[in-house]
Amino acid sequence: MTVYSTSDLRSGLKVMFEREPCLILENEFVKPGKGQAFSRIKIRNLRTGRVLEKTLKSGDSLESADVVDTEMQFLYEDGEFWYFMEPNTFEQYQADSKAVGHACNWLSEQDLCVVTLFNSVPLTITPPNHVELEIKETDPGLRGDTASGGTKPAVLSTGALIKVPLFLECGEKIRVDTRSGDYLGRVRDLKKIKTD
């Protein structure tokens, strides 16, 4: 464990603040022409994602947080926990629904994702930016309507509900941006573009 003084707090460092693991976003050194200096820090709570602004006395110290991002493979879920495996050591980790959060909308078995470990326990799960999923349920496709720009709801194999263009059918594989939940394209079209 490392202890950082206010002058060492740089953006990107992970520290414990009020018993929560936090990421330093900004640290502004404030020193009026007279008296004590202090630091205005902006931090993100890594568990909740909430951003806080706090003022610390210069020379105060914060302990480093044992937080590491590790790429892991999603194995399966059993209704209570989600299981992940570190592909090099084959070590398995179980994450609860709090840690998985919205990532549950996008994870398919075998997918690689980033598991953020806090004291060796999954804290958050970050799915890949783009995932390929199958449409499970949607209204019948309007054949040929590739231009109107209209959309309809579709349920994906993971249970996520997103908006897709009208021409898509059940069973088709699509690519989705997990950060926005936006439809990016049909996998076979995207593959075709790539090989053309």
Q: Can you give the binding site for another protein, defined by CB under 8 A?
A: 7, 17-18, 28-38, 41, 52, 54-57, 60
Instruction: Classify each residue of 152-186 as buried b or exposed e, where b means 16 or more C-beta atoms within 10 Å of its C-beta.
Output: eebebebebebebbbbbeeebebbbebeeeebeeb
C-alpha span between 157 and 134 (Å, rounded): 5
Q: Which is nearer to another protein, 37 or 161 (CB)?
A: 37
CB 5, min distance to another protein, A: 11
Is 24 exposed, middle or buried (CB count within 10 Å of its CB: 0-12, 13-18, 19+)? buried
CB 7, min distance to another protein, A: 7
CB 30, min distance to another protein, A: 6
Q: Length of the chain, please? A: 196
Do strands 3-5 and 61-63 pair parallel, antiparallel, or not at all (unpaired)? antiparallel
Q: Which is nearer to another protein, 8 or 77 (CB)?
A: 8
Q: Which is nearer to another protein, 13 or 95 (CB)?
A: 13
CB 37, min distance to another protein, A: 7
CB 55, min distance to another protein, A: 5
Residues 6 or more apart whose CB falls under 8 angstroms from that of 167 comprise 141, 142, 143, 144, 145, 146
Tokens of 152: 């309809």
111, 128 contact by CB (below 8 A): yes
3 state SS of 191 = helix
Q: Which is nearer to another protein, 36 or 48 (CB)?
A: 36
3 state SS of 173 = strand
CB 116, min distance to another protein, A: 24
Q: Which is nearer to another protein, 33 or 79 (CB)?
A: 33
Q: Which is nearer to another protein, 57 or 163 (CB)?
A: 57
